[in-house]
Amino acid sequence: MSQIHVTTRLNGDETEFLCDAQETLLDVLRNRLGLTGAKEGCGTGDCGACSVTVDGRLVCSCLMLGAEAVGREIETVENMADGETLHPLQRKFLEHAALQCGICTPGILVAAKSLLEQNPSPTEEEARYWLAGNLCRCTGYDKIIRAVMDAAEEMRRAS
């Protein structure tokens, strides 16, 4: 079966790959490009563990085809830190103990970053509704929400 040649921009770098027509962006990232930070928790867009941004928009990479990445800007959790410097959200997740097992963490970080880019001053309720598409089974969300609110405050102060 012939494969599709795709050129895209991934975490700032021009990237080429071949993929099958029915292959999801998530499978391309994980199996062809070695970026396993995005996780498959459901494959149906219900858990958010595979969250990435495409042209700045938050998407479930399990619901998008790899072939659709042509000419787009894809950002994954692997590009959140600036070299050795963690993004404030990453740092606050550690400080607030906002992860237990950590499987949902990459998706939640990508989603939370997307929230703060659109709304630097979310209320707790806005944060909870924005993150309602990201399932976490360990924490009960308490420390996640605290970490997001704290990071938002720090980022507002710094800007």
Partner 1 sequence: MALDKNAPETRSFKVVGSRPLRPDGIDKVTGRARFGADMSAPGMLIGHILRSPHAHARIRAIDTSKAEALAGVKAVVTRADFAAAPEGMEDVLDNCMAGEKALYDGHAVAAIAATSAAIARQAAKLIEVDYEVLPHVTDVDAAMAPGAPALHDGRSDETVPDGYSANVMSRVEYGHGDIEAGLAKADRVLERSYKTAATHQGYIEPHACLATMGPDGQADLWCCTQGHYMVRNTCAALLGMDQGQLRVTASEIGGGFGGKTTVFIEPVALALARKAGRPVKIVMDRTEVLRATGPTASSSIDVRIGMTKDGRITAADAELRYQGGAYPGSPVGMGSMSAFAPYDLENVRTIGYDVVTNRPKQAAYRAPGAPMAAFAVESAIDELAKGFGLDPLDVRLKNAAREGTRSSYGPTFPAIGLEATLRAAKDHPHWSAPLGPNQGRGVACGFWFNFGGDTCVTLNVTPDGTVTVTEGNPDIGGSRASMSMMAAEELGIPYEKVRTVIADTGALGQNEVTDGSRVTFAVGLATIEAARAAKREMCARVAKIWGIDEEAVIWEDGAAKPAGPNAGDYPPMTLAEIAAIASNTGGPIAGHHEVNAEGAGVSFATHIADTEVDPDTGATRIVRYTVIQDAGKAVHPAYVEGQFQGGAVQGIGWALNEEYIYGADGILQNPGFLDYRIPVASDLPMIDTVILEIPNPGHPYGVRGVGETSIVPPLAAVANSVSAATGVRMTDLPMSPPKVLAAVQGQQEG
Q: What residues line the site for partner 1 (CB under 8 A)?
A: 20, 22, 30-31, 35-44, 46-47, 49, 76-78, 80-81, 86, 90, 93-97, 99-106, 109, 125, 127-129, 131-146
In 61-151, beta strands by DSSP E: 73-75
Closest contact distance (angstroms) between CB of 36 and partner 1 is: 4
Closest contact distance (angstroms) between CB of 151 and partner 1 is: 12
| 45 vs 26: CA distance, rounded Å | 11
Beta pairing class for 13-19 and 4-10: antiparallel
Name the residue nearer to partner 1 (CB basis): 8 or 139. Answer: 139
CB 6 within 8 A of CB 70: yes
Closest contact distance (angstroms) between CB of 113 and partner 1 is: 11
Name the residue nearer to partner 1 (CB basis): 1 or 158. Answer: 1
Name the residue nearer to partner 1 (CB basis): 105 or 114. Answer: 105
Tell me what percent of the chain is helix, strand and coil, each rounded to the nearest 5.
40, 20, 40
Count of Cβ atoms closer than 10 Å to residue 118 Cβ: 12
Closest contact distance (angstroms) between CB of 143 and partner 1 is: 6
